[in-house]
Amino acid sequence: MNSILYNCKNIHKSYRQPVKDLEVIKNLDLILDKGSTLSLVGPSGCGKTTLLNILAGLDFATSGEVSFLGKDMSLLDSDARANLRNKEIGFVYQFHHLLPELSSQENVALPMLMSGLDKQKSMKRALELMKKVYLSDKLSNRPGELSGGERQRVAIARSLSNNPSCLLMDEPTGNLDTSNADIITNLLLELVKEEGVSLIVATHDLSLAGRLDETLNLESS
C-alpha cells in the first residue's frame, strides 16, 4: 500500500514581471507520508502561502510535478481539482473566514452540506467536531460573538468536517496571543492524531514548527 500523500519534484514558481520574472519557489522537493506533519518556515515572501496554494490545486507550479494521492495535479481539470479539495483537503487560515450570518455549528456543517450530505447528518457531525474543539456550549453563537481563539477553533472543526486526508494551514496561530496560540497548537496536534490526518502548516511560530515531524525551510530550498 502506498504511504505517500504528497510527492513533489523540482517545483519552481515564478511570476512574470516587466523587467525580470519574480522567482518565489525554486527547485523544491517535498514528500509527505500519510499521517505525517510538516511545517513550512521562512521569512515573509519566501513562498509559504504560494506553496500551500499549489499543494491545494488552487495555483500551478511554473514547472515541476505535484502528485497528491498518486494523481498529478496538473493533469486534473478544475472540477476534478475542486472535488479533490472538497473531499481530501481541509483549510485553516490566519483569518478564519467564517460566515458571520451563520452560527458556529452551521459554519462547521457548511462544507458537508455543499458536498451533498443531508442536513441532519451534517449538523450531527458538526456537533461532534464542536465537542472535540471544546465549544459545545457555543453551538448557536455567531463568529462575532466568539473570541479570536474560539473562532480559530471553529475553523479547525470546519476543516475536519469532510474527513480529509490532509489539512493545509496558513499561519493558524499568527493572529493569536501566546496563550491562545498554545491552546490551538495543543488542540491541533491532538485532533490530527485522533482523526488520522496529515498536516502541513506554514508558520512563523517556531514553537509550533518544532512540534511537527519535519520542517522545511523555504528560504534555503
Burial (CB count <10 Å: 0-12, 13-18, 19+), residue 221: middle
Q: Please report the pLDDT score of residue 221 as a whole number.
A: 47
Residue recorded with cell 519557489: 25
- DSSP conformational letter for 70: T
pTM of the entire predicted model: 0.87
Q: Please report the pLDDT score of residue 94 as a whole number.
A: 67
Q: Please report the pLDDT score of residue 138 as a whole number.
A: 92
Spatial separation of the C-alpha atoms in residues 180 and 95, rounded to whole Å: 14
Query: In the β-sheet with 63-68, what is the strand arrangement from edge to edge?
Result: 22-33, 4-15, 63-68, 71-72
Residue ranges of alpha helices (H) inside the chain are 48-55, 78-88, 104-114, 119-132, 148-159, 178-195, 206-209
Q: Please report the pLDDT score of residue 2 as a whole number.
A: 60
pLDDT in tens, the chain (221 residues): 468 889 999 998 888 878 777 888 888 898 998 889 999 988 777 788 889 989 988 888 888 999 998 888 888 888 888 888 888 888 887 666 789 999 999 999 998 888 888 999 999 999 999 998 889 999 999 999 998 888 888 988 998 888 888 999 888 777 777 877 888 888 888 888 888 889 999 988 888 888 898 998 887 54
Q: Please report the pLDDT score of residue 186 as a whole number.
A: 85
Q: Please report the pLDDT score of residue 124 as a whole number.
A: 93
Spatial separation of the C-alpha atoms in residues 153 and 107, rounded to whole Å: 12
Domain residues for 38? 4-220
Angle at 159 between CA 158 and CA 162, to 5 degrees: 90
CA neighbours within 13 Å on the CB side: how many for 67?
Answer: 17
Nearest residue to 172 via CA among 157, 190, 188? 188
Q: Please report the pLDDT score of residue 105 as a whole number.
A: 93
Beta bridge partners of 28: 11
Radius of gyration of the chain (CA): 17
Burial (CB count <10 Å: 0-12, 13-18, 19+), residue 209: buried
Q: Please report the pLDDT score of residue 196 as a whole number.
A: 85
Q: Please report the pLDDT score of residue 96 as a whole number.
A: 67
Non-local (6+) Cβ contacts of 75 within 8 A are none
Total domains in the fold of the chain: 1
- Give the CATH number of the domain where residue 49 resides: 3.40.50.300
